[in-house]
Amino acid sequence: MSIQKAVKTLLVVFAVTALNACLPENSAFRGASSQNRLIYGLTLEPSGFDPHIHRSSELGIPLRQVYDTLVYRDPNTKAFVPGLATEWSVSGDGLVYTFKLREDVTFHDGTAFNAQAVAANLDRIVDPATGSQRAVFMLGPYAGCEVVDDYTIRIVLERPYAALLDTLSQVYLGIASPSALNAYSTARYQFHQVGTGPFTFVELIPGQRILLRRNNAYTWGPPFYKPAGDNSIEEIEFRFYTDPSTRVLALESGEVHVMGEILPTDARLLAGNSAIQLLPVNVPGQPTQFLINTTRFPTDNRAVRQALLFGTNRNAIIDAIFQRFSPVAWGPLAANTLYYNPALNGAYSYDIAQAQALLASVGFADSNADGILDINGVDLEVNVVVPPWGLIPQIAELLQDQWRIIGVRAVLTPVPTFPALQQVVQSGAYNLVAFDTAGLDPVFLNDFFLSTGSLNWTGFTSQELDTVLTQAASAADESTRQVLYNRAQQIIMEEALLLPIRDYVNLNASRAQVQQLAFDPYGWFPLLNNAVFSGTGS
Amino acid sequence: MIRVTRTLISSAFSVWLATTIAFFALRILPGDALQAQLSMSGASQAVIATRRAALGLEASSLTQYIRYLQQLTQGDLGVSLVSGERVTDALLRNLPPTITLALSAGTTAGVLGIVLGIVSASGCGRLSATTRALTALSLSVPIYWSGIVAIFLFSVQLSWLPASGTGSVVHLILPVSLLAFHTAGSIARVAQASISTAAQADFARTARAKGLREKQIIAHHVLRVGLLPVVSTAALQFGFLFSGAVVTESMFVRPGIGRLLLDAVIKQDYPVVQGVVLISASAYALVIAITNVLNAHLDPRISL
């Protein structure tokens, strides 16, 4: 190409760009096509949208706006506040919960809300024909319910279950209109959902969108819901951005106003863009962690487990992989989980000398000078099970490098799916396995650390830990629970049953004109009732 | 007629083979969608076993396969393990957007490929070099990369076209252009090669000797022969079009069979994957069969 031509081409490109800059920002296809319509990008398309049946977190993002729950948790104090129930009481034995219900509530289809409606929902969730994949398990040892009068309902349990209010505050146990539940088959209801929440369900077109519209009759929200004003969101359209690489582009082009789960590297790039604000939300529950198998060589030795923890440079991992958008995790709970034990802060800080001393103290030495410690001719080698989600593969690679410094060889076993991970775990042929769960109430620790827990992949059994965890799960008094959970976390870390990496952070981002976008205390679900557009429309 | 029947029988065999391979290949991985969902909810092994048994998932692969074939003969493709929706419903809903995308991209690619091929074969200097460069780009650059570049350029920087969604013809422009561009490459290559060969064949020399003008020779003699292999190549591109749709649909947030497949594979939702494989294998076999018949008509030298 001649120089003249190159210059001409450049001029054309320049002219086009300049012309474009003069065009109005709000082209027809852009974000808000109608007044105050919020476009919200979801990261994966759930295969099902019925909160009573399906289990994805993504379904809760739109449906948290459609359903009310009996109780809510205040996003700031995390305390339980009235929702559809105005007050509640628990029997002395912890087996009977009695809820007084609001009398001024109407479902979006006009059906009146009452105790019978709540009973119909609970019956549906526990009915085996419904095939619930999550909600039924959240009800725990649910035995049945009893309509006392039109506005009073009792929930009866088989045994005490301190997490009941916690689960009742989540959208999976949201209350749907009994007439709508009757009108559609179990598989079809998800396309015609009817709740009592601040937004009504307009349509769900799989693969395309979910559309919600404000419920103007809504006056029964929890105390932290503000009444709608001129700048409030009128309509919300949810779209599914399954390809991570296009999420940020959609946000930059203005096609969406809010996008969930941005990659940390993308978030770093967005930090310099004044049209976009980052909204990192800490998710309570377990941190990103590796559970350590206490029943297999060499991690059956506590000193080896502790050495692995000391030999892990978590700051380096957080810098490289999470772009410092995550805090370091110190124990089995993320810092914003209820009953977190702050005494663990700083436990097992990066200390190579300490790690090496621990390994030497139990007889490991590099007798064949190959850089890997050994004992009785057996190398110090750990097998790490690596699932593909949550940037675990990247973390595992860094761990491999870091542990080489203390003379430990890490062998990575990638698994493609959760059942494949379970298969390796069941075979017992692993030393560390990455897995964690989210939640505000640490009752989930029971699954992982009770001797009989369904996810007791550390293989650790201890009379004391069993007692402490069982009592903590059923104790009614908060300060008692705090003491018990403090002790449980302490035991878990003294025994080095897991390697915590970082507290999970849900990296959301939004266009700057979206204001007062808050998330519920579980970290996943936005509360769009209070969100407003600053200035005019888009 | 016998020829057509024979083609149809061999197509049916290919479809059966594809679905059977898919059926057993899916079951090499442990577990399934239902097991994954339930174990993550903390369900006990007993509960999971009961639920799986109710859907026939506890039976041996062979038993499941026989039941699958039986259901298939009644037109029943089963239900999704996650959503509980009938697979037929999911397919019917997702087929129209994919057909729209594939047909538009396929047609555009055919025209684009042939034009690029003719120009490249014509050997007239700079223009031909440019088209050859475009062809090389089309074949060598992965679609997910050019997709990101296109979105960045046309949506983020220039704001000319929407990067995601459906609803209007405007939404089709980027995905269709992208898919068409990458499909056109092979068509252009084959067109260029076969036209060049045909242009040097004896009949073309004869035509030149008779004193016909070059344009006439190309249009009336060379193209008729030169474009024959293009028909088969274009048909084979149908497969590429489908795999391209998987990427394109995810990237441009369009509903369709490709995205349905991707989601179902990730979640191990076997009935849905089997349904998509059955539909796409049938469509592919049908296209190939039609091409064979068409080729035999166009070229008397080919016999089925």
pLDDT of residue B31: 81
Within 10 Å of residue B209's Cβ, how many Cβ atoms?
A: 8
Average pLDDT of the segment spanning A372-399: 94
pLDDT digits (tens, 9 = 90+) for A66-114: 999 999 999 999 999 999 999 999 998 889 999 999 999 999 999 999 9
Residue A411: phi and psi, rounded to 5, are -105, 125
Distance CA A509, CA A41 (A): 10
User: What's the burial of A477, exposed, middle or buried (CB within 10 Å: 0-12/13-18/19+)?
Assistant: exposed
> 3-state SS string over A259-321?
ECCCCHHHHHHHCCCCCEEEEEEECCECCEEEEECCCCCCCCCHHHHHHHHHCCCHHHHHHHH
pLDDT of residue A1: 42
Q: Strand, coil or helix: what is B69?
A: helix
Give contacts of A454 with chain B, Cβ < 8 Å: 42, 44-45
The angle that helices A352-361 and A302-310 make with each other, rounded to 10 degrees, is 160
Q: Strand, coil or helix: what is A451?
A: coil
Beta strands in A455-535 (DSSP E): 498-502, 505-511, 514-515, 518-519, 526-527, 532-533
Q: Which helix (H) or strand (E) holds B189?
A: helix B169-199
State the nearest Cα–Cα gap between B229 and chain A, in angstroms.
Answer: 34
Task: Name the residue facing B151 among A54, A138, A246 (closest C-beta).
Answer: A246
pLDDT digits (tens, 9 = 90+) for B50-75: 888 888 888 888 999 999 999 988 98
What would the two tokens of residue A336 be?
A: 């914003």
pLDDT of residue A13: 47
CB contact under 8 A, B163 and A246: yes
pLDDT of residue A9: 52
Percentage of chain A exceeding pLDDT 90? 75
Tokens 């009398």 belong to A103
Q: Is the pLDDT of residue A505 over 50?
A: yes
Give contacts of B86 with chain A, Cβ < 8 Å: 187
CB contact under 8 A, A190 and B83: yes
Q: What residue in B sits closest to A389 (Cα-Cα)?
A: B266
CA distances from A25 to A36, A234, B156 (A): 16, 21, 11
Q: Which of A170, A253, A385, A446 to mutate to test the interface with B (most CBs of B within 10 A)?
A: A253
Average pLDDT of the segment spanning A519-532: 93
User: What's the burial of A249, exposed, middle or buried (CB within 10 Å: 0-12/13-18/19+)?
Assistant: buried
pLDDT of residue A107: 97
Q: What residue in A sits closest to B156 (Cα-Cα)?
A: A253
Distance CA A245, CA A404 (A): 33
Average pLDDT of the segment spanning A417-435: 93
Residue A157: phi and psi, rounded to 5, are -115, 155
CB contact under 8 A, A417 and B36: yes
Residue B77 near residue B272, CB atoms below 8 Å: no
- How does residue A16 score in pLDDT terms, banded at 50, 70 and 90? very low
Distance CA A36, CA B287 (A): 47
**Domains of chain A listed by start with CATH number:** 34-52+56-63+197-282+506-533 (3.40.190.10), 71-180 (3.90.76.10), 288-503 (3.10.105.10)
pLDDT of residue B219: 76
The amino acid at B149: V
Average pLDDT of the segment spanning A458-483: 92
Residue B119 near residue B127, CB atoms below 8 Å: yes
Distance CA B203, CA B224 (A): 12
Q: What residue in B sits closest to A50 (Cα-Cα)?
A: B83
pTM of model > 0.90? no
Distance CA A52, CA A66 (A): 13
- How does residue A537 score in pLDDT terms, banded at 50, 70 and 90? very low
pLDDT digits (tens, 9 = 90+) for B59-117: 888 999 999 999 988 989 988 888 888 999 999 989 998 988 988 999 999 899 988 88
pLDDT digits (tens, 9 = 90+) for A313-339: 999 999 999 999 999 999 999 999 999
CB contact under 8 A, B84 and A48: yes
Average pLDDT, chain A: 90
Give contacts of A206 with chain B, Cβ < 8 Å: 90, 93-94, 255
Pick from A290-294, A420-424, B259-263 the range whose average pLDDT is largest.
A290-294
Q: Which of A256, A417, A427, A447 to mutate to test the interface with B (most CBs of B within 10 A)?
A: A417
pLDDT of residue A534: 86
